[in-house]
Structure 1
Amino acid sequence: MGTLFQYARDSLTNLVSRMGTERDKASSSYYPLPFIADDQVLNAYRGAWLPRKIVDIPAFDSVRAWRDWMADGAEIEPIEAEESRLNVRGKMLEARIKARLFGGAAIHIGTGDANLAEPLDVERITKGGLKYLTVLSRRQLSIGEIERDPASEWYGKPRIYRLTAGDQAQVDIHPSRLVILTGNAQPDFELVGGGELAWGDSVLLSAMDAVKQADGTAANIASLIFEAKVDIIRIPNFMASLANEGYKTKILERYTLANTSKGINGTLMLDKEEEYESKSANFSTLPDILDRFLQIVSGAADIPATRLLGQSPAGMNATGESDLRNYYDRLSAMQALEMTPAMYRLDEAIIRSALGSRPADIYYEWAPLWGMSDKEKADVFKTKADAARAIAGGSGQQPLIPIDALSDALVNALVEDGSLPGLEAAIDEYGKLSEQEPSEEELAAAVANSNQPAAPQRKAANDAESRTLYVRRDVVNASEIKAWAEGQGIPDLVDDLHVTIIYSRTAMDWIKAGNASEWGSESGGKITIAPGGPRVVEPLGNMSAVLMFASSQLCWRHEEIVRAGASHDFEDYQPHIGLTKADVDLAKIEPYRGKIILGPEVFEEVMP
C-alpha cells in the first residue's frame, strides 16, 4: 500500500493580477544551463576590449607586486635568482590569464623525471633539480577518472591529467606535478556535468551578457551619430507624382544639385512652394545610459570602474579609493586562498632547487597591492616615531619598556616595512643601540664635544651652566640639494642648509644632552641619510617649503635631549631641511631622493 503525500505551498496568489498562477508573467523566467563555446570566448578576448580587460586585469594585478621572501639574506638571493631563471612570475601571469579565459590552466613542474604519472616527491629535488615550467591550458589537458576516496588529497579532483603532445601519444601527468588554476570555480561539477567542466567556468561566462549589452549600446549610439541631423523637404503633390518615372529621375537630379549647392556655398535653392526643415537628434542622455551599462559590466566582472575603464571617480568628493581598496583586498584574499595553496609544491621545489635543501624558517609574504604615496609613508613613519617616543617616556618619566628593547623592536619594524632603505645593512655595520653602551672615555668625550665653536650670530657656551640650547647639523652635500632645488624651480634658497635637532628656549645643562655618537654617528661626527624612503616638500613654520625626510637617528637624538630637560616649540619633531620663504607651487615639485650627508652637531645658545 503506497503512501499518499500532500504537498502544501505557502505563497501569495492573486487571480485578478494572475500573480502566483500559471499565467503569472514572472513564471516564464528561469535560468537555463549557461554555456559559451571556447571559440566564442577566444574571439571575444581577441576582438573586444572589455572581455580582454576583464580577463587580464585581475590576473596582472595578482602578480604585479609579486612576493617577498623572508629568510636570511644569503638565502633570499639564490631563491629570487631561481625564480628569475624559471620566469615563475611570467608563467603565473600566463597561467592566470588562460585559467580565467578558458576556465582552467596548469603549470607543469618539470624535474626531468621519466615517469610523469607518478607523484612528485619534492624532497628528492636537489640543487638545480627544477628544470623548466610549462603552461598548459584546459584545452590541452583532458581529465581522467575522478578520485572518490575522501581520505585522498585529490578527493573530487582528477586522479590523472592527460596531455596530447602533438602527433605523439597521450602523456599521463600526476596532479602533484601541476599547479592547477581555475577560473570561476564550480560549486558542484557533478550537478553541472563532469568532463571538461570539472575545471571551472570562464570568467566571461557570467559577464558576457552584460558585455554584449554594453557593446551593443555603444554600437547603436555610434550609428545614431550619422542620424544626428536630418533634412526634411515637403514637396507639393510628391506622392502622386512618383508614378511618373521621368519625375523620379528629375526629382533625384533636382535635390542632388540642391545638396551640392548647399555643400559648396551653404545656400539651399528651393521652389517657392517647397518647405524645408532640419531636425537634430538629442544625445544628451545617451552618455548616462552607456555609463550605466558599463557600470553593470564593472559589477559583473567584480572590477572597479576606475580600474576597468580607467575613468575618474564620479560624484562630489569621490576618489574611488574605497572601491580600489576593496578590490585589492579581494585580490589579496585570492592570493592567500587560491594561489598560495596551488603553488605549494612549486614553491617547495624552487627552494630546494635554489639552495639544495629546505631550511624550516623560510617563507614568503605577498607584497601589498595598495601602494602608499610618499606623504602617506611619511605619516606612517611619523606615527611610529611618535608612538615610540611615547613609550620611551618624556622628560622625567620612566620608559614603559627598556630603551634597548624598544630600539631593537623599532628597528625590526622599520626594516620590515621598508621605511628606511639600507637600515638593516647600517645596523649590521654600526650595531644596535643595545650594543653601543658608552664607555667612560666616550662620556668624557661627550663633555669635550659639547663645546662647539659658535656661529657668528650666536654666542657659544664654554661651561656647564644651564642655558638655552640650539642644536643643528649642517648639510655637507648642500651643493647637490641646491642643484636639485634649482632644477625644481625653487627660488631664493636659504644659504645655510641645515637640520635642527633641538631649539630650546628653556635653559638646561648641556652636559646632560649627551653625545651624538651614541646614535650611530660616523667618523667625524657625520651621519648619512640613505637615498630613498619617504620624502615630501611642504610648508612649515615661517618657511614656505621644507624638505621633510625620515630618520630614526635624528628623532631619537631629539627625544634624548628633550628627556634631558630641553623644550621644543612644536608638539612633534619632524626632521627637515628649510629651503625657502618665497612662494612655491608645491604640487609641481618632485622631492629630493638622493642621500643627505649631515655634519657633526653644533651646540649654540638661542639668541633673544
Structure 2
Amino acid sequence: MNRFTRFIQDALFPRPEAKPQQPPNLFATFPLSGEARDTFVAHRTFHNEAMGIGGEQDIINNTYIDLPKEYPREQLTSMYVNSWVAARIIDLLVDDVFSAGLIRKGVAEPHDDPILKLEKKLGLWSKLPKAIKAGRLYGTAFLVLAPSDNRFERELKVEDVKKDDISNLIVVDRYSMTVHETYLNPSKVEYAQPYSYMWTMNPEGLAPLKKDDMPDMEQDKPWQGQTIVHSSRCIRFDGVGSLLDEGWKLGASNRWGYSILNRVMDDILLDMLLNATGGDVAKRMAVPVLKIKGFRDMLGIGEVVGDEVSPERYAANMRASIASNRMAFIDAGDEMMNLEVGNPEGVVTIIDGQMRRLASAAGVPVTRFTGASASGLNATGEGDSRDYRMAVESYRERHIDPQVEMLMDIMARNAGVKETPGWEWGRLGEMTAMDQAETLKITSESTSLLVSSGLIDKKESREILNQLDNVNIDENKKIPDPPMPMAGAMAGAQLGATPKKNPMSNPQKKPPLDKGTKRSM
C-alpha cells in the first residue's frame, strides 16, 4: 500500500484509536540477522526498487508491499457495508455456490420430512452461507453447533449424535474466539490444529448477559461470558490462509486467516476515489464557452504587450472564470484562439479498466460482476460464464462439500433418522437447446456402445436414458438387440465387387418373392 492510497484509506475510514499502536515483534516469526535484519527493521516492509513504479510517492522508484495486515473488525464491516465492490467480492462466489440448491433423493413429501423441518428450524441454509461469507470477510469464521446440554467443551462425534442433540447453529467470527489448546503431536493429522477455542460471547460489554442455565467456568467465580468450545463443534471457514504446513502457526501470534479484501484493498479505495471524482472531472471537462464582444478590452488591467493583453494574463483570467463560473469567456472577435474541451470518455475508460481489474481479482467474469459488459467488449461473455460455472463447481467440491456432507449426517441423526438420505447439488445455469441435444446424443451413443459391448443390460440402459430430460422409455417396450460390431464389413462383398442393392431402399417397389411363397393381399 503506497502513501497515496494510505491517505485515502485514513480519510475514508479513520482509525478508532488516535494513539499509535506498538509495532509487533516481527522477529518472533521472521528471525533475521545481520544486514538483512537491519534492512527489515528500517522498512518494516518488503522494499522494491527494481520495478520503477510507485505512483504518488515522493520517490518514484520506491514501492512498498506491506506485511499481511489484520484490519479491525469495524473497518472490514464498513468496507462490506459501504462499498458495493467489496460486497460483490465477498458475496458473489458464495451466492452462486448455493444458487442451485440441494436436491434430496428419496424424499416423497418434503413438508413432512423431519430433516427438512429441522434444517428450517435451525436456519441451516441461511447461516451456512453467512458463515462462509464471514470467513472471507474477516479472515476466519465459525459455524458453531451448540449442544442442547450446554456442554460446549464436549467433543462432537457424528456417529454419537442423538435426536435433539444439536439445539442451535451460531455464526461467530474470529474476533470473538481465541485458541485455548492446540494439538502438539506431529504424528497426528490434527497436528498444530486448535483442540479447543475460548469463545467470548460479550467482548464489548455493551449489553447485560442473561446467564439462564449456562454452566460456570469455575464454581467459585462468577461467569464472565466466556466458554470453552471443542474444535469439533466449530466448522471453520478461512479467507486467505498459508500455503505452508500448519505447524508454523505454533510460534505465530496470528492463527487465523486473512480477509480476501487484503489483496484488493488499494483497488477498492481507488475505485471509490474514481467514482467520487469521475463525475466532477467530467463536469470540469465539459466547459461551456461564451463569446463576449470587447472581452479583451475588459482585461486591460495588467501587463500589456503592444495593443493586446499578454497571453499569460489572458490565460489566468480564463482559468479564474472557469473556476468561479464553470464557464470560459473569450473575445467574440478572436479568431486565433480555439478552446479545446476535454473528452470525458477517458474517465470512462479508466473506470472500466478498474472494473475489469477488480472482477479479475474476484475471479468473476465482468458480465457477472457488473451486470453488463465493459465498454469496448463485444463478446457476450457466454464462454466466460461457462468457465466461471466450472470454477464454482470446483470450489464447491473442494471447500463446501466436506462440510455439507458432515452437516447432512448430523442433521439426519439429530432429527432421529437412522440413515442419511442421498443428496446432490442442482445444476448451475440453464442449458441451451443445443447443449441439451448434444448431451442427449452423447449419452445415447455411449449407452448403446455399453449395451453392445455387454457391459450393461437393457434394464440398466433404460434407467440411464430415463434420467435425461424429455426421455421416457416404457419398460414393456422391446428394445431391439444392437447390431454386432463390423456386421456390415463381415457381410460385405469382396474387394472390387459390386455391392448388392437393398430391395427396401425404394419403398414403392415391393421386394421379390421367394420361390414357393405366396403374396397375401
Deviation (angstroms), 1:186: 2.6
- Structure 1 stretches of 5 or more lacking a match? 1-21, 242-250, 393-398, 438-466, 469-503, 510-608
> Aligned equivalents of 1:275 and 1:358: distance in 2?
90
The answer to which of 405-414 and 35-44 deviates more is 405-414
Q: Secondary structure at the match of 1:143?
A: strand
Deviation (angstroms), 1:269: 11
> Do the aligned residues in 2 keep the contact of 1:229 with 1:278 (CA within 8 Å)?
no
Residue equivalent to 2:279: 222
Residue equivalent to 1:432: 475
1:327 to 388, 404, 421: 388
Is 1:295 paired with 2:356?
Answer: yes
Is 1:183 paired with 2:235?
Answer: no
Is 1:125 paired with 2:129?
Answer: no
> Aligned equivalents of 1:24 and 1:388: distance in 2?
60
Alignment of 1:1-400 (within 5 A): 28-38=62-72, 39-70=74-105, 77-166=113-202, 167=209, 168-188=224-244, 197-230=254-287, 231=289, 234=296, 235-239=298-302, 278-312=339-373, 318-358=379-419, 362-385=421-444
Structure 1 110/201 Cα, relative in aligned 2: closer, same or farther at 3 Å?
Answer: same
> Aligned equivalents of 2:173 and 2:334: distance in 1?
72
Alignment of 1:489-568 (within 5 A): 505=507
> Aligned equivalents of 1:315 and 1:154: distance in 2?
52
Structure 1 227/199 Cα, relative in aligned 2: closer, same or farther at 3 Å?
Answer: same
> Do the aligned residues in 1 keep the contact of 2:356 with 2:374 (CA within 8 Å)?
no
Deviation (angstroms), 1:87: 2.6
What amino acid sits opposite 1:299 in the alignment? Answer: S
Q: Deviations over 1:195-226 (max 9, x none)?
A: 77422111111011222223323333222122
> Aligned equivalents of 1:324 and 1:124: distance in 2?
43
> Aligned equivalents of 2:105 and 2:434: distance in 1?
27
> Do the aligned residues in 2 keep the contact of 1:146 with 1:156 (CA within 8 Å)?
yes
Q: Secondary structure at the match of 1:291?
A: helix
Structure 1 127/283 Cα, relative in aligned 2: closer, same or farther at 3 Å?
Answer: same
Q: Deviations over 1:221-278 (max 9, x none)?
A: 222122123448654333369xxxxxxxxx9xxx99xx89x99xxxx99798999975
Q: Secondary structure at the match of 1:238?
A: coil
TM-score (norm 1): 0.54
Q: Deviations over 1:442-482 (max 9, x none)?
A: xxxxxxxxxxxxxxxxxxxxxxxxx99xxxxxxxxxxxxxx
What amino acid sits opposite 1:35 in the alignment? Answer: K
The answer to which of 111-120 and 125-134 deviates more is 125-134
> Aligned equivalents of 1:110 and 1:506: distance in 2?
79
> Aligned equivalents of 2:130 and 2:265: distance in 1?
22
> Do the aligned residues in 2 keep the contact of 1:104 with 1:137 (CA within 8 Å)?
yes
Identity level (%):
22
> Do the aligned residues in 1 keep the contact of 2:137 with 2:261 (CA within 8 Å)?
yes
> Aligned equivalents of 1:314 and 1:507: distance in 2?
65
Structure 1 109/269 Cα, relative in aligned 2: closer, same or farther at 3 Å?
Answer: closer
Structure 1 406/228 Cα, relative in aligned 2: closer, same or farther at 3 Å?
Answer: same
> Aligned equivalents of 1:351 and 1:507: distance in 2?
68
> Do the aligned residues in 2 keep the contact of 1:388 with 1:410 (CA within 8 Å)?
no
State the superposition RMSD in angstroms: 4.4
TM-score (norm 2): 0.63
Structure 1 89/23 Cα, relative in aligned 2: closer, same or farther at 3 Å?
Answer: closer
> Aligned equivalents of 1:401 and 1:314: distance in 2?
56
1:409 to 461, 465, 470: 461
Q: Secondary structure at the match of 2:142?
A: strand
Structure 1 310/74 Cα, relative in aligned 2: closer, same or farther at 3 Å?
Answer: closer
Q: Secondary structure at the match of 2:235?
A: strand
> Whose strand proportion is higher, 1 or 2?
1
Instruction: Identify which of structures 1 and 2 has the higher relative contact order when contacts are C-alpha pairs closer than 8 Å and 6+ apart.
Output: 2
